[in-house]
Amino acid sequence: MRILIVEDEKKIADSLRKNFNDEGFDTKVCFDGSDALEVISKEKFDLILLDWRLPEITGVEVCKRIRNANNRTPVILLTALSNISNKVEALNCGADDYITKPFSFEEVLARVNALIRRYKFSQNMIEFEKMSLNLITHTLETETGSIKLPEMEFELLKYFLENQDRIVSREVLCEDVWKLKYTPTTNVVEVTVKNLRKKLEEYSSNKFIKSVYGEGYLFISN
Amino acid sequence: MRILIVEDEKKIADSLRKNFNDEGFDTKVCFDGSDALEVISKEKFDLILLDWRLPEITGVEVCKRIRNANNRTPVILLTALSNISNKVEALNCGADDYITKPFSFEEVLARVNALIRRYKFSQNMIEFEKMSLNLITHTLETETGSIKLPEMEFELLKYFLENQDRIVSREVLCEDVWKLKYTPTTNVVEVTVKNLRKKLEEYSSNKFIKSVYGEGYLFISN
DNA sequence: AACAATAATGAAAAAATTTTCATTATTAAT
DNA sequence: ATTAATAATGAAAATTTTTTCATTATTGTT
């Protein structure tokens, strides 16, 4: 996950960056609004953390401009002020959430994760580990690239993601994914699992699809 | 579009049914709540119009049970009462909208259409005429049946639906739908248009895809 | 360690989809 | 009405995807 931190107080910016990096996020920092807008127009982020008080352009203004450019990237505003009118202004400018300083990193992290998850869901994406499956385009998207899955591999992966941490037998897969009333005499399922595994391995060393001897498969992502 | 009208006052029920039928809707009427629940469990509707005051089970109770059965079909409650606490109760039971009697059919129609459109959109469906294209399953759904479109036909139809009433040239289609940088020497576009037209014709006598000589294609649905 | 059951694999076969191509039909302009 | 350009069509070729099959590998049990 890639986060843009827009914060002019170097101490806070550094602390956020370090903490997010430790959590496995990819971060980028901007110290003022115009710099941020420039970066946002060129690069893609999963979330933008935006300080309210910034030199020149305010965070609220930056947020408005992001939305005017038809960019729906989740935005969280950070502010020292906690009165309600500010809160209203924050949400009116198109921000998705609002955190008042001083904050604990745990709070920021929780809100960031919740917002990213919510956004991906609304975008018809199911995320797992550092990848996500786009239900509309049928692409498997990662930080390093994306591939379009053929239909049966897509359907299988989608099914696994909807049934994580649960053993699914071949019979169930035949019925739910392949829509067969009878269990086939051949091993279509195994072959498709093999091909899907190969593609997943190209992007992660995680073994997502485990085999449970005599039972079926088990998809685990964390 | 198929609407279920649940209303015990025969006069109102008949009037609604007649008006909706005239507008081209398919309607079904139930006179009490348990009858409605029975029907809803078996048949699929695009919307349910539910009277608050019903013999035995109230409309609010019916609505709750529909939602408990994990059915998200849009529900509009009809009521003679217009105080706020009722309105709150209505929306809390899982209804999507609320109309107070007496109402004009125009008002009902407007709300019904708005709600159906909103719901389909949230379900990743694009509707046109009496059909809808499911963006997740890639199926073209009609009242009489549904078929899964092969990928290129799906992409093409989706593009047409997003660009209705606008002439799109072959060059643009090659770029946007086929993702080609060059215009092909062959007529892939024409062939795919032909096949898509054939499938659309199976469900409607409307000629959705018009050819504009020397310019391109024009998709019109109403 | 040996065995039988279960699972994984590579490659071929079959099926479905997409693209190409040759031909016919339609359009707009003269 | 003729003509040249554009569009539609059927069918074949090429490509991609899905399924099958024979073989090898792995697992759990004795």
What are the pLDDT digits (tens) for A171-217? Answer: 999 999 999 888 778 899 999 999 999 999 999 888 999 999 999 99
Tell me, yes or no, whether A114 and A40 share the same domain.
yes
Q: Which of A150, A146, A144, A122 is nearest to A133 (CA)?
A: A146
Quote the minimal CA–CA distance from A195 to chain B in Å: 20
List CB contacts of A155: < 8 A, sequence separation 6 or more. A177
**Which CATH number goes with the domain that contains B48?**
3.40.50.2300
Going by pLDDT thresholds of 50, 70 and 90, the confidence category of residue A82 is low
For residues B115 and B93, what is the distance between their CA atoms, to the nearest angstrom?
17
CB-count burial class (<10 Å; 0-12, 13-18, 19+) for A204: middle
- Count up the domains in chain B and report the number: 2
- Confidence at residue B3, expressed as pLDDT on a 0 to 100 scale: 97
Tell me, yes or no, whether A112 and A197 share the same domain.
no
Instruction: Give contacts of A136 with chain B, Cβ < 8 Å.
Output: 124, 135-136
Out of B76, B107, B122, pick the residue that ends a domain. B122
Closest chain A CA to residue B125: A136
Mutation choice for B interface testing from A121, A133, A136 by most B CBs within 10 A? A136
Q: Is A129 left (phi over 0), alpha (psi -120 to 50) or beta?
A: left
Quote the minimal CA–CA distance from B136 to chain A in Å: 6
Average pLDDT over residues B122-137: 91
Q: What is the DSSP letter of A84?
A: H
Residues composing chain A: 222
Please tell me if residue B135 touches chain A, with a CB cutoff of 8 Å.
yes
Nearest nucleotide over every DNA/RNA strand to the B194 CA, judged by C1': D8
Cα–Cα separations (whole angstroms), residue B203 to A20, A146, B113, B128, B208: 54, 36, 22, 12, 11
Q: Taking all residues of chain A, what is their mean pLDDT, rounded to a whole number?
A: 92
Please tell me if residue A124 touches chain B, with a CB cutoff of 8 Å.
yes
Tell me, yes or no, whether B9 and B78 share the same domain.
yes
Summarize pLDDT for A114-129 with one digit per residue, the tens.
999 899 988 899 999 8
CB-count burial class (<10 Å; 0-12, 13-18, 19+) for B208: buried
Instruction: Give contacts of A124 with chain B, Cβ < 8 Å.
Output: 124, 136
Contact B100, B80 (CB under 8 A): yes
- Confidence at residue B84, expressed as pLDDT on a 0 to 100 scale: 62
Going by pLDDT thresholds of 50, 70 and 90, the confidence category of residue A84 is low
SS3 A221: coil
Using the CB atom, is residue B213 less than 7 Å from strand C?
A: yes
Q: Is B98 left (phi over 0), alpha (psi -120 to 50) or beta?
A: beta
Nearest nucleotide over every DNA/RNA strand to the B192 CA, judged by C1': C18
In degrees and rounded to multiples of 5, residue B79 shows phi and psi of -150, 155
Going by pLDDT thresholds of 50, 70 and 90, the confidence category of residue A83 is low
List CB contacts of A217: < 8 A, sequence separation 6 or more. A160, A167, A168, A173, A193, A209, A210, A211
More confident residue, B173 or B80: B173
Residues composing chain B: 222
Using the CB atom, is residue B80 less than 7 Å from strand D?
A: no
Tokens of A104: 């604990």
Q: Which of A52, A55, A115 is nearest to A89 (CA)?
A: A52
Average pLDDT over residues B156-167: 95
Using the CB atom, is residue B214 less than 7 Å from strand C?
A: yes
Using the CB atom, is residue B214 less than 7 Å from strand D?
A: yes
Asked if pLDDT for residue A222 goes beyond 90, the answer is: no
Cα–Cα separations (whole angstroms), residue B100 to B46, B108, B135: 21, 10, 35
> Dihedral, CA atoms, B8, B11, B16, B17, nearest 10 degrees?
80
Tokens of B151: 């990928």
Q: Which domain holds residue B64?
A: 2-122
Instruction: Give contacts of B135 with chain A, Cβ < 8 Å.
Output: 136
Asked if pLDDT for residue A85 goes beyond 80, the answer is: no
Out of B83, B99, B122, pick the residue that ends a domain. B122
Please tell me if residue A122 touches chain B, with a CB cutoff of 8 Å.
no
**Which CATH number goes with the domain that contains B134?**
1.10.10.10
List CB contacts of A83: < 8 A, sequence separation 6 or more. none
Portion of chain B with pLDDT greater than 70, in percent: 97
Using the CB atom, is residue A192 less than 7 Å from strand D?
A: yes
Tell me, yes or no, whether A104 and A12 share the same domain.
yes
Tell me, yes or no, whether A144 and A161 share the same domain.
yes
Helix (H) or strand (E) holding A89: helix A84-92
Annotate A106-136 with b (16+ C-beta within 10 A) or e (fewer): eebeebbeebbeebbeeeebbbbebbbbbbe
Please tell me if residue A123 touches chain B, with a CB cutoff of 8 Å.
no
Nearest nucleotide over every DNA/RNA strand to the B151 CA, judged by C1': C17
Out of B83, B103, B122, pick the residue that ends a domain. B122
SS (H, E, C) A135-176: CCCCEEECCCCEEECCHHHHHHHHHHHHCCCCEECHHHHHHH
- Confidence at residue B60, expressed as pLDDT on a 0 to 100 scale: 93
Bridge partner list, A108: none
Tell me, yes or no, whether A24 and A96 share the same domain.
yes
Nearest nucleotide over every DNA/RNA strand to the A215 CA, judged by C1': C6
Counting one residue from A and one from B, how many pairs have CB atoms under 8 Å apart?
Answer: 6
- Confidence at residue B182, expressed as pLDDT on a 0 to 100 scale: 81
Q: Which of A87-101, A139-153, B106-120 has the lowest mean pLDDT?
A: A87-101
Summarize pLDDT for B182-211 with one digit per residue, the tens.
877 889 999 999 999 999 999 988 899 999
Please tell me if residue A84 touches chain B, with a CB cutoff of 8 Å.
no
Helix (H) or strand (E) holding B26: strand B26-30
A210 CA → C15 C1’, Å:
30
Tell me, yes or no, whether B208 and B109 share the same domain.
no
For residues A212 and A201, what is the distance between their CA atoms, to the nearest angstrom?
19
Q: Which residue is nearest to nucleotide D19 (CA to C1')?
A: A188
User: First CA to last CA across chain A, in angstroms?
Assistant: 15
Summarize pLDDT for B2-38 with one digit per residue, the tens.
999 999 999 999 999 999 999 999 999 999 999 999 9
Summarize pLDDT for B89-101 with one digit per residue, the tens.
777 888 998 898 8
Tell me, yes or no, whether A114 and A145 share the same domain.
no
Using the CB atom, is residue B190 less than 7 Å from strand D?
A: yes
For residues A218 and B110, what is the distance between their CA atoms, to the nearest angstrom?
48
Closest chain B CA to residue A135: B136
Using the CB atom, is residue B182 less than 7 Å from strand C?
A: no
